Amino acid sequence: MYQDFKNHLEEELSNIVSAGLYKNERVIVSPQGAKIRVADGKEVLNFCSNNYLGLSNHPALKKAAADALETRGYGVSSVRFICGTQDLHKQLEASIARFFGTEDTILYAACFDANGGVFEPLLSEEDAVISDALNHASIIDGVRLCKAQRYRYANADMDDLENQLKTSQAQRFRLIVTDGVFSMDGNVTPLDKIYELAKKYNAMVMVDESHSAGVVGETGRGVTERFNLRGQIEIITGTLGKAFGGAIGGFTTGKKEIIELLRQRSRPYLFSNSIPPMVAAAGIRVFKMLDETNKLQDKLHENTLYFVDSMKAAGFDIKPTESAICAVMLYDAKLSQDMANRLLEEGIYVTGFYYPVVPKGQARIRVQISAAHERAHLDKCIAAFTKVGKEFGVIH
Ligand SMILES: *Cc1c(COP(=O)(O)O)cnc(C)c1O
């Protein structure tokens, strides 16, 4: 049997290679940060991580993790409801709820699990999920696991959302679900308009704050802060794997009855291990830090503004962004790869994206800004883009 299957796999793999979609992993031999060392020993400036607040290698988090390693051990060897709930897990859940202004929180091993386990326990075939077309893969998979009727609206298109809401009026409960920030363009979901439509058509709202938490809003509380909707949204999901230290872990936070039912019925919560004490302790430290000071959020906002303005001034075509994601539009797939490779030679690590990750003819280089970047790093990146952009005739 395996010989046939092996042939089949080899064919699949060679199809991926010939479509130019084979993903090679670049090996990094340093901690995550503004500067990273890659396996060949070269040091490069990193502009493609989700380390938005520069916390991935922060001394305070490492200390909190090390202390918890000593006092609570390495792992808990249990799901939460058997013997896997430490004081740290409860404290982290409370910290997350305070951060978002919500009633309660449930932790998961990842946001992929939070999204995978949120729809099925809450909604059934009488209900409707109305989902933005560009929502994250984990939302799409989560929706597939539930029996609710599925509706889809074009990215951030409020006329289309209104149509879907009208069509779904026969259903018992309606849940609109959206990413807070869409990762390819960096645009923020129009949550104010979504909220109004939800009121008008009697629906609930869920927002995945993975790319927006820590980033969007004056104090980085995400899109609910940006649109003055703290405490108004029924469900928020998010990750500890991006702005909040970048290790592992996800959460759902929101109305307390929803969280309570998820603790009883959500399968990735019930049937998967608790997050390690180190991760919980470092998470608590992150939210304490973000409560005490707005320094990192302010620096991230300043850095992003500076970078985007400078790139526009240099003549680049930049997608409108309200996040720390800056899409440098090149439109041509090969150009996006060639330019990213050339930038790496200049010591700037960025990623080019093209179809099917983005629509055909919409290839780009995505730059992600971090509070870990100093002005000199940004200037070096802008200078490299300008030099390479001129070489390729993208700017003049
Ligand atoms: C990154 C991301 C996730 C997955 O988060 P993990 O914690 O890494 O599983 C889910 N949703 C969105 C919108 C994301 O950007």
Give Cα 367 distance to the centre of its chain: 14
Look at residue 162 and give its three-state secondary structure.
helix
* 34 and 80 inside one domain: no
The answer to whether the Cα torsion of 141, 325, 321, 341 is positive or negative is negative
Tokens linked to 241: 């794997």
Instruction: Tell me the Cα Rg of the chain.
Output: 22
* Residue 116 forms part of a structural domain: yes
* Residue 39 forms part of a structural domain: yes
* CA separation for the pair 274, 87 (Å, rounded): 12
* 82 and 204 inside one domain: yes
Is the previous residue joined to 276 through a cis bond, with omega within 30 degrees of 0?
no
* 190 and 171 inside one domain: yes
Which atom in ligand 1 lies closest to the alpha carbon of residue 180? 13
Within 10 A of 309 (CB to CB), how many other CB atoms are there?
Answer: 12
* CA separation for the pair 46, 374 (Å, rounded): 12
Is 252 touching ligand 1 by the criterion CB < 6 Å?
no
* 251 and 316 inside one domain: no
* CA separation for the pair 313, 319 (Å, rounded): 14
* Residue 14 forms part of a structural domain: no
Nearest to 204 by CA among 156, 153, 250, 255: 255
Give the chain's domain count: 2
Is 110 touching ligand 1 by the criterion CB < 6 Å?
yes
Give 15 Cα–ligand 1 centroid separation in angstroms.
27
SS3 content of the chain, % helix, strand, coil (to 5): 45, 15, 40
Is 136 touching ligand 1 by the criterion CB < 6 Å?
yes
Which atom in ligand 1 lies closest to the alpha carbon of residue 209? 13
* 203 and 279 inside one domain: yes
Is 210 touching ligand 1 by the criterion CB < 6 Å?
yes
Which listed residue (58, 211, 301, 377) is catalytic?
A: 211
* 211 and 128 inside one domain: yes
Last residue of a domain, one of 257, 292, 327: 292
Is 325 touching ligand 1 by the criterion CB < 6 Å?
no
Beta bridge partners of 38: 28
At 24 the pLDDT is 87
Give 309 Cα–ligand 1 centroid separation in angstroms.
28
Strand order in the sheet with 35-37: 35-37, 43-46, 348-349
* 132 and 225 inside one domain: yes
* 242 and 131 inside one domain: yes
Give 253 Cα–ligand 1 centroid separation in angstroms.
15
pTM over cut 0.95: yes
Give 239 Cα–ligand 1 centroid separation in angstroms.
6
Q: Is 56 a catalytic residue?
A: no
Give 347 Cα–ligand 1 centroid separation in angstroms.
28
At 358 the pLDDT is 93
Beta bridge partners of 367: 326
Last residue of a domain, one of 242, 259, 292: 292
Give Cα 229 distance to the centre of its chain: 20
Is 204 touching ligand 1 by the criterion CB < 6 Å?
no
* 186 and 267 inside one domain: yes
Which listed residue (242, 299, 301, 377) is catalytic?
A: 242
Q: Is 63 a catalytic residue?
A: no
* 284 and 300 inside one domain: no
Is 209 touching ligand 1 by the criterion CB < 6 Å?
no
Last residue of a domain, one of 239, 264, 292: 292
Residue pair 222/236 in contact by the 8 Å Cβ criterion = yes
Q: Is 377 a catalytic residue?
A: no
* 92 and 145 inside one domain: yes
Query: What are the φ/ψ torsions at residue 180 (nearest 5 degrees)?
Result: -75, -50
* 173 and 207 inside one domain: yes
Q: Which domain holds residue 308?
A: 25-52+294-390
Which listed residue (56, 95, 183, 370) is catalytic?
A: 183
- Sequential pLDDT tens for the chain (396 residues): 999 999 999 999 999 999 888 888 989 999 999 999 999 899 999 999 999 999 999 999 999 999 999 999 999 999 999 999 999 999 999 999 999 999 999 999 999 999 999 999 999 999 999 999 999 999 999 999 999 999 999 999 999 999 999 999 999 999 999 999 999 999 999 999 999 999 999 999 999 999 999 999 999 999 999 999 999 999 999 999 999 999 999 999 999 999 999 999 999 999 999 999 999 999 999 999 999 999 999 999 999 999 999 999 999 999 999 999 999 999 999 999 999 999 999 999 999 999 988 999 999 999 999 999 999 999 999 999 999 999 999 999
Is 132 touching ligand 1 by the criterion CB < 6 Å?
no
* Residue 19 forms part of a structural domain: no
* Residue 165 forms part of a structural domain: yes
At 20 the pLDDT is 80
Is 223 touching ligand 1 by the criterion CB < 6 Å?
no
298 Cβ contact partners less than 8 Å away, ≥ 6 residues apart: none
Mutate to test the pocket of ligand 1, among 96, 115, 136 (most ligand atoms within 8 A of CB): 136
* Residue 396 forms part of a structural domain: no
